[in-house]
Amino acid sequence: MKLQRTNRLRAVALGAIAVSGALVLTACGSDDNSGGSGGDTTKAASKIKCDGEGKLLASGSSAQKNAMDIWTQTYQSACSSTQLNYKPTGSGAGIQEFLQGKTAFAGSDSALEPKEVQQSKKVCKGGQAIDLPMVGGPVAVTYNVKGVDDLVLDAETLGKIFDSKITKWNDAAIKKLNPDAKLPGTKIQAFHRSDESGTTDNFTKYLNTAAPGAWKHEPSKAWAGKGGQGADGSSGIATNVKQNDGAIGYVELSYATGNDLSTVKLDTGAKEPVEATTENASKAIADAKVVGKGKDLSLELNYKTKAESAYPITLVTYEIACDKGNKKESLNATKSFLKYTASEDGQKVLSEKGYAPIPDEIIAKVRTTVDSLA
């Protein structure tokens, strides 16, 4: 518990950024353009190779917004001729805008589906959309139960809670996992995303893979569970969990820490329950495999891992762009920005914001692929 509170306080001290609205930064920016010291930002910015000019439009994953904030601030401090506008509309909406030709790239917390790759060929003239893993991090299960400061759950119990099969906090299954906790008979209020979300896709992949008997629904960006209450975006879930006794939900770690929410420890079968931290998420991502074909670098995560300290509910956010056929007016700026986000400096800042950097072997492939975008 002491560790959990320390993690939350540390994240709050770092300053979680508000999660609503679009980020529109101009060349002037603000006086503080860093997630750390001004000197660190200036040093990182000095290494950026600026290219392209004008507006660079992108949208999608709200999970990466806090990372995109600091990336954009640093990039804009170096590249005054480009104005980046990233709207955290959610993965589903971001992909659709990209497929409609409205944006230069999109952010998604799950890899493109085959039908989306096929659709992308209309936008990517002579090519197709590809997945570039850029941000990692744990999906934290947050809760608000009066009198309960330390909670352990497993995949089966989570599946039953979010499918309305377990409805009270003092249910026998929860008691078994928390023998020393004073669990109240409070009704469980389970909150899920009302919008299509890659976070939902990853969360339900975990439930379906690790507890197929308890969660029989196919993984999807759209919520398929029974009952529960919908909330818009990660910020909506975080707000509802914080305001309602008996609530539980799933959000990226930065949203949990930014709202000072308690997080569930997972019983994965390892010796000790695993906490949602960036370090524990990195251990899970390191076990991922590249399964994409050609220049696509989509990953397959091991949701059933029992490795010590590996947190299995982990997502990877992809930047989605065309391998060939990117818009000429935004290609240079897109490559310049993505080169920075995939760089050592771009990845280094992630852990400071509650994210997990992409492992070296994978991010090296991302850098090579970004260089080849045409």
- The residues pairing with 274 across neighbouring beta strands, listed in sequence order, are 266
Give the angle subtended at the CA of 291 by the CAs of 287 and 292, to the nearest 5°.
135
Only one residue has tokens 């920016």, namely 29
- Whether 256 contacts 144, CB under 8 Å: no
**What pLDDT, in 10s, does the model give residues 60-100?**
998 899 899 999 999 999 999 999 999 999 899 999 999 99
How confident is the model at residue 40, as a pLDDT? 60
CA distance 288 to 283: 9
**Contacts of the segment 253-256: beta carbons below 8 A, 24+ positions apart:** 253/11, 253/137, 253/138, 253/139, 253/140, 253/277, 253/278, 253/281, 253/354, 253/355, 254/11, 254/16, 254/66, 254/137, 254/353, 254/354, 254/355, 255/16, 255/19, 255/140, 256/8, 256/140, 256/142
CA distance 83 to 311: 37
CA distance 258 to 243: 14
What averages of pLDDT result for each successive group of 10 residues across the chain (374 residues)? 38 34 29 40 78 93 90 94 93 96 95 96 97 95 97 98 98 98 98 92 95 95 94 94 98 91 97 95 88 95 92 95 96 97 94 86 96 97
- Whether 201 contacts 313, CB under 8 Å: no
- Whether 104 contacts 58, CB under 8 Å: yes
How confident is the model at residue 41, as a pLDDT? 62
